[in-house]
Structure 1
Amino acid sequence: MSKKILVLAIVLNSLLSFAQVAPANRGGGLSLSAGAEYSDFNPDWGPDRLQGMAAFFDLDHLFLNRLGVEGEARWLRFNQPHGETEDNYLLGPRFRMVRFGKLEAYGKFLMGGGWITYRDKLGSGSYFAYAPGITGEYRLSRHWKVRGDYEYEFWPAAPGEAFTAPFGKTSSGLTPNGFSVGVSYRIF
């Protein structure tokens, strides 16, 4: 009787082993990328544009392979007409809207802080900022992507162009906006 049970167990074990699912050879799990961008922004303070560099990270595939988190630091320090600079440090969710082959498009909503030095050393300040935006990424290889990005930032508490609007009303803040192009490397 014990030999029959042993043979039956071996046969069942052999049959069940064929029912195993083959492991996926790619995809799934979290994805972490980091990269750099060159930015060109309208600072919303004067007629000139500011350029600079940005560093960012993307943590993707948090929910249904569509939701992720993006963090960025941008330093607009090139082309400083009259000494003006803008920097920001932002973090928030990003959502993959569409994927078509190697091309992906993401919507994002970042929040954090913005720092400005006004024209002609008029003053400086730091303000809460939020920034909806859109990012397009094109996969070059398993690890490398190129990307283009547009952000429209809102700095609601920052004083605007002339510190007060016409007729003595207070400013509605600054709205810097601009484009960035860059590359990212997928770490895992």
Structure 2
Amino acid sequence: MRRKLMMAPILVLFFMGAGLKARAQVTYSAEEGKLPFTVGAGVTDISDDWGYENPRQVGITMWVDWRLPFMPPVLQGLGIEFEGRDVNYATPSNLPGHRMDTGLGGPVYQWRRKSRVRPFAKYLMGIGSIDFPNGTTYSHDTRAVFEPGGGADVRVWKSFSVRGEYDYQFWHQIFGPHDLTPNGYTFGAVYDFGLRSR
């Protein structure tokens, strides 16, 4: 008997609620689109950390950033970056044949708020290949490379941004007990597939 008495008010509330006008959300619930990744390329000016003169070289860098979906608000912007770099241009005359290639990946965090400027920090790990002049047959080596870095993307038009970053690499104990620490700046352009244009 009690069930029948409770069921009647529940059914009345249900049908009253079904008859009310439904309203849609009129603003975006998030900033991300369907594809949460960014691709881009840039030009690198890097200090080789080589010898007493510490020469600089130019290279090409490519990025692919993938942001982890469905993260709690404090972790939105956490993702994985893959970076490929070829430092092979503007080689100093005292280092003929000098070249550094790296393929790295690791965590990246970008502060993705409603601003045109989106700073980021990253720590990448991977493999590096180096060719260097030497009087012997030993003129190439491959090592694990670690790279902390940071920078910012500045949106210029819809999903296109310019990127500037500073990276500091560690090639552990490549020539004895000391690390090779090339470091430098990269400037380029990126396209964000997940950014909503407003």
Shorter-chain TM-score category?
0.7 to 0.9
| 1:171 and 2:177 are equivalent in the alignment | yes
| 1:27 and 2:31 are equivalent in the alignment | yes
Cα distance in 2, alignment partners of residues 44 and 187 from structure 1: 36
CA contact (8 A) 1:73 1:87 kept: yes
Trace 1:70-81 onto structure 2 (pairs within 5 A): 70-81=81-92
CA contact (8 A) 2:59 2:87 kept: yes
Q: Partner of 2:109 in structure 1?
A: 95
Q: Partner of 1:167 in structure 2?
A: none
Displacement of 1:37 after TM fit?
A: 0.7
CA contact (8 A) 1:77 1:85 kept: yes
Query: In percent, how many aligned pairs have the same letter?
Result: 30
CA contact (8 A) 2:150 2:166 kept: yes
Cα distance in 2, alignment partners of residues 134 and 77 from structure 1: 23
Query: Higher strand share goes to which structure?
Result: 1
Q: Partner of 1:60 in structure 2?
A: 67
Cα distance in 2, alignment partners of residues 54 and 28 from structure 1: 25
Give unpaired runs (5+ residues) of structure 1: 160-169
Give unpaired runs (5+ residues) of structure 2: 1-9
Q: Partner of 1:39 in structure 2?
A: 44
TM-score, scaled to structure 1: 0.80
User: What amino acid sits opposite 1:157 in the alignment?
Assistant: Q
Question: How many residues are aligned here?
Answer: 173
Q: Partner of 1:14 in structure 2?
A: 19
Q: Partner of 2:141 in structure 1?
A: 125
Moved over 6 A (4+): 5-8
| 1:150 and 2:166 are equivalent in the alignment | yes
Displacement of 1:99 after TM fit?
A: 5.1
Q: Partner of 1:135 in structure 2?
A: 151
Cα distance in 2, alignment partners of residues 79 and 171 from structure 1: 29
CA contact (8 A) 1:128 1:157 kept: no
Question: What is the alpha-carbon root mean square deviation over aligned residues?
Answer: 2.7
Displacement of 1:157 after TM fit?
A: 3.3
